[in-house]
Amino acid sequence: MKKMLSILLVVIIAFILFFAVFLIYATVNDYNPKAEITVFNSKKPDMLSDTAKLDILIWNIGYCGLNAEMDFFYDGGKHVFPEKDIVINNLEGVKKYLSENENTDFILLQEVDKISRRSHKINQFDTISNLFAERNAVFGKNYDVFFVPQPVTKPMGVVRSGLMTISKYVPTKVTRHSFPGNYSWPVGLFFLDRCFLVNRFSLANEKELLIINTHNSAYDDGSLREQQMKFLSDFLTAEYKKGNYIIVGGDWNQCPPNFMPDFKENVMDNESRKDISPEFLNKWTWAYENTQPTNRRVATPYIKGESLTTVIDFYLLSPNIEKLSIENVNLNFKHSDHQPVKISIKLK
């Protein structure tokens, strides 16, 4: 009995030491980006007309691991990540849809993996970039963890992922801006470091067009999103005062202000729902469509008419930009838990 207790004590001490070393290593190697990082600079940028008509597409591709048949453990499901052939099939589906929209001026993607266990270390950024060899493609990293230990029975492992913006035109500059706030230590070591990616383009009237790709926080009590929205508001206000034209698109992880869904075949998700305040830049235009959802809850596989769905993917336009049309593209969540959203705009 004494010997068994001694062995048990040694095992407990060894586990504590291993866990302590693991946390120390994770802390030392934690991805802690600067507030602003220059991703791209050009000496020969393109110049756009100050009355240009432009087409834009946003899509959170869910690292090609959250197709309609998948659920996800962190949202109440059972799965952590799918088999490799499923990821490959989803990636092929994403590539096919993007190829069909190759003439789109700007494509803003979220949850694009570079090297992650959850997507079997397939470099999705390079794969998608190869589709648009003549385009400018940039990456803004928002998730870099050497080993995510959840869940214990099948940990996610290494994750390197982020935002991807593909442009028909060469920008003058692209910068990654860190959102403020994060989860406290040690939880924050294994979560995303949220950001938005800004592509700047010269206009004929000597102003700039800013195309902003954003992916705001999820799974928090709302406080992180409020910090991020305040930070974004200050940034956008300062840029608009310069006379610049600004389009923000992406996965906001919250509904537009005063959102009223008109879904015909799907059920609105009002559980833990958060709407953007109507006072947020209230002279700007929130561009969204309310008859088709853009996101589904991944607690279960997708079942039309039963699964909870919502609209959290949309655009924000500065007052000097006119919305011409917008469409939530219904793909029945075939390759991602999000759906693409297309918009046409005109600079005033």
Sequence-separated (6 or more) residues with CB below 8 Å from residue 103: 55
Residues 58 and 19 in one domain: no
Residues 7 and 92 in one domain: no
Q: Please state, in angstroms and rounded to a whole number, the distance separating the CA atoms of residues 309 and 268.
A: 5
Residues 26 and 64 in one domain: no
pTM of the model: 0.94
Inter-CA distances, 273 with 40, 72, 260, 311, 342, Å: 36, 19, 12, 11, 24
Residues 236 and 146 in one domain: yes
Residues 26 and 74 in one domain: no
Residues 25 and 38 in one domain: no
Per-residue pLDDT of 42-88, as tens digits, reads: 999 999 999 999 999 999 999 999 999 999 987 888 899 899 999 99
Residues 75 and 18 in one domain: no
Tell me which residue has tokens 């499901």: 77
Per-residue pLDDT of 288-346, as tens digits, reads: 999 999 999 999 999 999 999 999 999 999 999 999 999 999 999 999 999 999 999 99
- Domain boundaries, position 64: 34-347
Instruction: Assess whether pLDDT exceeds 90 at residue 32.
Output: no
pLDDT reported for residue 31:
78
- Number of domains composing the chain: 2
Are the C-beta atoms of 57 and 100 separated by less than 8 Å?
A: no
Residues 140 and 277 in one domain: yes
Residues 22 and 126 in one domain: no
Q: Max alpha carbon distance in the chain (Å)?
A: 85
pLDDT reported for residue 77:
87
Tell me the CATH number at 163: 3.60.10.10
Comparing 94-103, 106-115, 118-127, 144-153, the range with the smallest average pLDDT is 144-153
Per-residue pLDDT of 141-196, as tens digits, reads: 999 998 888 888 889 899 999 999 999 999 999 999 999 977 667 666 667 889 99
Q: Please state, in angstroms and rounded to a whole number, the distance separating the CA atoms of residues 95 and 215.
A: 21
The secondary structure element, H or E, covering residue 24 is: helix 2-28
What does the chain come to in residues? 348
pLDDT band at 348 (very low <50, low <70, confident <90, very high): very high
Q: Please state, in angstroms and rounded to a whole number, the distance separating the CA atoms of residues 194 and 163.
A: 10
Q: Please state, in angstroms and rounded to a whole number, the distance separating the CA atoms of residues 101 and 307.
A: 28
Are the C-beta atoms of 115 and 158 separated by less than 8 Å?
A: yes
Residues 8 and 48 in one domain: no
Residues 123 and 2 in one domain: no
pLDDT reported for residue 98:
98
**How many other CB atoms sit within 10 Å of the CB of residue 19?**
11
Comparing 9-13, 242-246, 256-260, the range with the smallest average pLDDT is 9-13
Instruction: Assess whether pLDDT exceeds 80 at residue 233.
Output: yes
Q: Provide the token pair at 45.
A: 């940028």
Q: Please state, in angstroms and rounded to a whole number, the distance separating the CA atoms of residues 330 and 68.
A: 12
Residues 124 and 158 in one domain: yes
Please state whether beta strands 267-268 and 245-251 pair in parallel, antiparallel, or not at all (unpaired): unpaired
User: What mean pLDDT value characterizes the chain?
Assistant: 92
